[in-house]
Chain A
Amino acid sequence: MTTSVPQAAALGMTLVSVGEAKGCMAVPWREDLVGDPDTGVIAGGVVTSLLDHTCGLAISAAAKGQMFGTATLDLRIDYMRPAAPRAGVTAEAHCYKLTRSVAFVRAQAWDADPADPIATVQAAFMMSPRSA
């Protein structure tokens, strides 16, 4: 799921872990992903891609191997604080409710300590059967 998706590969996204309706992924810091050269902090858009993607991973975990497609309905991101300069970002998502048509997901992202997040997320996704 990480390397087969061009955007995930371009960001250098790595799989950290998969659990019960949960997924965890990371993006290491890279010079070309910086949003503000004055601070050297990774761009918000990178965090958005990581969070969206990690939500998808949590949904796969919740769906327990069923084939499906997801389309993001909405994604709300609250930024608690900027990431530290030259720091990578890790995200964990939990699909806390999965119906036949909709997945509800919460996620958070941090740079060093999960207890001190840089961003929290609430998102909803449409589920569709995949004709692969």
Chain B
Amino acid sequence: MSEADHAKLGAFLQRAPYVRFLGMRAELAGDEMTAILPFSPHLVGNTTIPALHGGVIGGFLEMTALAQLWVTQGSGKLAKTIDVTIEYLRPGRAMTTYARADLRTVGRRVANVHVEAWQEARSHPVAALRGHFLLAGD
């Protein structure tokens, strides 16, 4: 990843109000982007456990996919979500969540993206997303 990619990622994180609502951040290390969602009380869906809201985890995974596409495509336009399947593997605890996106295929019009989120250990994912995204410009 180049300086330009860092700038693109920074622009993505700055532009979407919902990214700021979540409090989502992201870091680039080489060609790997890691999205970071620090814990915040307004993200809780179950106060008994307490656990993150399923929708928050889903939204974070979707935003991670869109961020990765934004950086890789570099068109300056946001891809449109066609469909997503979110699998919940473990409760999202009251702690920082991380996610990485894997662009499985990026065609001319559509991309297939897998995203995995984890907390304490990457080998113990809390949730995964598989989705199709209509690429900007179509």
Q: Closest approach, in angstroms, between the C-beta of A53 and any C-beta of chain B? A: 7
A105 CB to closest chain B CB (Å) equals 12
Determine how close the nearest CB of chain B comes to the CB of A54; give it in whole angstroms.
10
Say yes or no: A45-B55 contact (C-beta < 8 A), given A5-B44, A7-B45. yes
The interface size of chain A toward B, counting residues with CB under 8 Å, comes to 37
- Consensus secondary structure, chain B interface: mixed
By the criterion CB–CB under 8 Å, are A32 and B15 in contact?
no
Complex interface: chain A residues within 8 A of B63 (CB):
43, 45
Query: Would you call A48 and B16 a contact (CB within 8 A)?
Result: no
Q: How far is the CA of A35 from the CA of B82 in the complex (A)?
A: 15
B109 at interface by CB-CB < 8 Å: no
**Prevailing SS type, chain A contact patch:** mixed
- Chain B CB within 8 A of A24 CB: no
B54 at the interface (CB under 8 A from A): yes
A74 CB contact (under 8 Å) in B47, B59, B62, B87 = B87
A116: Cβ under 8 A from any B Cβ = no
Binds A, one of B27-35, B73-81, B114-122: B73-81
Is B42 close to A, CB under 8 A? yes
How long is the Cα–Cα vector from A104 to B137 in the complex, in angstroms? 37
A28 to B88, CA, bound (A): 27
Q: Which of A33, A79, A82 contacts B17 (CB 8 A)?
A: A33
With contact pairs A45-B22, A52-B53 given, residues A74 and B17 touching in the complex (Cβ less than 8 Å): no
Which of A's residues lie within 8 Å of B, judged by CB? 4-10, 31-38, 43-46, 48-53, 69, 71-79, 82, 132
Given contacts A35-B17, A53-B53, A76-B84, 11 further A-B pairs with CB under 8 A are: A10-B42, A36-B16, A43-B63, A44-B62, A46-B18, A49-B58, A52-B54, A72-B88, A73-B87, A77-B84, A77-B85
